[in-house]
Amino acid sequence: MESRNYIPFDEGKVGKRLSISGEHSVYKYGENQVIKFPVGPIYYADPEEAYQKVSNEARLAESYLRDFIVPFEVLTYIKKGKKKYCIIQKYIEGRPLTIKDMRDPNLRAELKRLTDANNIMYNSSGFTVEFFGIKRLVWHAFSPKMENVLLMPNGKLKIIDFGMISDTMMVSSSQSVRFVIQWAVKRQRKLLNLYLSKG
Ligand X SMILES: Nc1ncnc2c1ncn2[C@@H]1O[C@H](COP(=O)(O)OP(=O)(O)O)[C@@H](O)[C@H]1O
Binding site for ligand X (CB under 6 A): 18-19, 22-24, 26, 34, 36, 70, 89-92, 133, 147-148, 160-161, 163
> Does residue 22 touch Mg ion according to CB under 5 A?
yes
Nearest to ligand X of 32, 124 (CB atom): 32
Select the residue whose beta carbon is closest to ligand X and give its number.
22
Indicate which of ligand X, Mg ion, none lies near residue 168 (CB less than 5 to 8 Å, by partner kind): none
Residue 46 exposure: Cα atoms within 13 Å on the Cβ side? 5
Nearest alpha-carbon partner for 158 in 195, 137, 131 = 131
Nearest to ligand X of 37, 199 (CB atom): 37
Indicate which of Mg ion, ligand X, none lies near residue 57 (CB less than 5 to 8 Å, by partner kind): none
Nearest to ligand X of 89, 188 (CB atom): 89
92 and 114 Cβ atoms separated by less than 8 Å: no
> Does residue 38 touch Mg ion according to CB under 5 A?
no
**Which amino acid appears at position 110 of this protein?**
E
Helix (H) or strand (E) holding 118, with range, is helix 105-125
Indicate which of ligand X, Mg ion, none lies near residue 18 (CB less than 5 to 8 Å, by partner kind): ligand X
Rg (CA), the chain: 17
Please report how close the Cβ of residue 182 comes to Mg ion at its closest, in angstroms: 20
Question: Residue from 54, 127, 133, 137 that binds Mg ion (CB under 5 A)?
Answer: 133
Helix (H) or strand (E) holding 165, with range, is strand 164-165
Nearest to Mg ion of 110, 147 (CB atom): 147
Nearest to Mg ion of 26, 111 (CB atom): 26
3-class DSSP string for 8-44: CCCHHHEEEEEECCCCEEEEEECCCEEEEEECHHHHH
> Does residue 96 touch Mg ion according to CB under 5 A?
no
CA distance 1 to 16: 29
Give me the residues that bind Mg ion (CB under 5 A), please.
22, 133, 148, 161
